Amino acid sequence: MACPILGPKCSAYYMIISVWGVVMLVLMGIFFQIRSPSLFEDINVDEEAWAKHNMNLEFVKSSYEDNAVNCWIAAVLYAVLFVFSFIQQRMNARQTYETS
């Protein structure tokens, strides 16, 4: 039988944080995908990139899409953390049940 890596409080904390991370990053990914104007300051556009692409609209669209993909990748990583924490929580509950 495997031994839990995280304690019960730590695994519960990570589960809460990962649920919030998944919700927030999925919503941010959606808003980046629909090119929300309020997120323009968060895209990776600097002066050199503007000069290189001549302030091209396609470059801005691709920057929005790149940020959307990055948000979704981070959301998947948070989902993996949730699954890991859930397994740890179950292992801790089973261990407490067996010892009592």
pLDDT at res. 51: 73
CA geometry: angle at 23 spanning 6 and 16, to 5°?
25
SS3 54: coil
pLDDT by residue for the chain (100 residues), tens only, comes to: 577 788 889 999 999 999 999 999 999 999 999 999 898 888 877 777 667 767 678 888 888 999 999 999 999 999 999 999 999 999 888 766 555 5
SS3 44: coil
pLDDT at res. 12: 92
pLDDT at res. 100: 53
Domain boundaries in the chain?
A: 8-99
pTM: 0.82
pLDDT at res. 97: 58
Q: Which two tokens stand for residue 32?
A: 């980046």
Q: Which residues, at least 6 apart from 74, have a Cβ–Cβ distance to it below 8 Å?
A: 21, 25
